[in-house]
Amino acid sequence: MTDSISNKHRSLRRRRPSFEDSSSSWLITYSDAVTLLLAFFVMILSVSDINQGKVEALKEGLSEMMTGETQPTPFTDIKLGLEQLIAEKGLEDQVSVTLDAQGVKIEFANVALYESGSADIKSEAISTLKEVTQVIRETSHKTHMVEVEGHTDDVPIHTEKYPSNWELSSVRATNIVKYLLAQGIEKERLKAAGYADSRPKEGIDNLPLNQQRQGNRRVVVFVKRY
């Protein structure tokens, strides 16, 4: 009888988990969960188009929440600097700036930079373009690309110099890039593209045709991350 009780106690002791086993087993489950979460976020990032403007806004909001003070971020600096310049010069009808999905979007109406059918930058536009370039140069970073897009309306052009709107829009964008380069923006950060009338401006479909065409004649400068 005594031997039976003793054997039973030994059996119970063998089945009882040790303190070491129970205290470390949660680490395995935790590490598995972290690995799965990491894999999930990598998958999401690989198929998503990251909104750089919103990322910067989120960083600013988190910094403000944690420190109690507003912490300007690069895109915010660029946007605020340009908005101040536009307001001081009264250029609201010629230049606009927004936080775009790609970063900071600076849009010039063609009338602010060029004569109709020309890609030569107007002399009266040089001072404005110089100040805009200065803001970009002083507030952007070497990790930021500066991409210039030329856009036209759908009215065909056919001249010896510009056989179509493709050439016109490309040369307009290229001339802005050349100006930015001359003002000290590194060539590795610059890119020019001409889209003719292939990418109409969004949100103006309900306007009269002449106003749609006026809105589509534009140059867009993107400041975004590589």
Instruction: Pick the more confident residue, 67 or 188.
Output: 188
Query: 19 and 114 share a domain?
Result: no
The answer to the question of residue 24 being in a domain is: yes
Query: 27 and 107 share a domain?
Result: no
Query: 44 and 141 share a domain?
Result: no
What is the average pLDDT score of the chain? 82
The parent domain of residue 82 ranges over 74-225
Amino acid type, 113:
L
Which range scores top for mean pLDDT: 15-19, 33-37, 91-95? 91-95
State the sign of the Cα–Cα–Cα–Cα dihedral 186, 190, 125, 94.
Answer: negative
Mean pLDDT of 211-218: 94
Per the CB < 8 A criterion, the answer to whether 75 and 104 are in contact is yes
Query: 89 and 186 share a domain?
Result: yes
User: Based on the structure, what is the number of domains in the chain?
Assistant: 2
164-208 pLDDT tens trace:
999 999 999 999 999 999 999 999 999 999 999 999 999 999 999
Does residue 59 register a pLDDT over 90?
no
- Confidence at residue 58, expressed as pLDDT on a 0 to 100 scale: 58
Here the CATH number for the domain that contains residue 97 is: 3.30.1330.60
The answer to the question of residue 64 being in a domain is: no
The answer to the question of residue 192 being in a domain is: yes
- Confidence at residue 34, expressed as pLDDT on a 0 to 100 scale: 73
Query: 157 and 197 share a domain?
Result: yes
Query: 93 and 205 share a domain?
Result: yes
Per the CB < 8 A criterion, the answer to whether 219 and 149 are in contact is yes
Pair of tokens at residue 44: 């999401």
Query: 34 and 82 share a domain?
Result: no
The answer to the question of residue 131 being in a domain is: yes
Query: 41 and 81 share a domain?
Result: no
For residue 54, name the pLDDT band (cuts at 50, 70, 90).
Answer: low
DSSP state of 205: T
The answer to the question of residue 128 being in a domain is: yes
Does residue 62 register a pLDDT over 90?
no
Query: How far is Cα 135 from Cα 226, in angstroms, rounded to an integer?
Result: 19
Query: 167 and 204 share a domain?
Result: yes
Per the CB < 8 A criterion, the answer to whether 110 and 144 are in contact is no
Query: 161 and 210 share a domain?
Result: yes
- Confidence at residue 68, expressed as pLDDT on a 0 to 100 scale: 62
Q: Own/partner pairs for 49-52, CB < 8 Å, 24+ apart? A: 49/101, 51/101, 52/100, 52/101, 52/102, 52/103, 52/224, 52/225
Whole-structure pTM value: 0.70
Query: 24 and 124 share a domain?
Result: no
Per the CB < 8 A criterion, the answer to whether 218 and 109 are in contact is yes
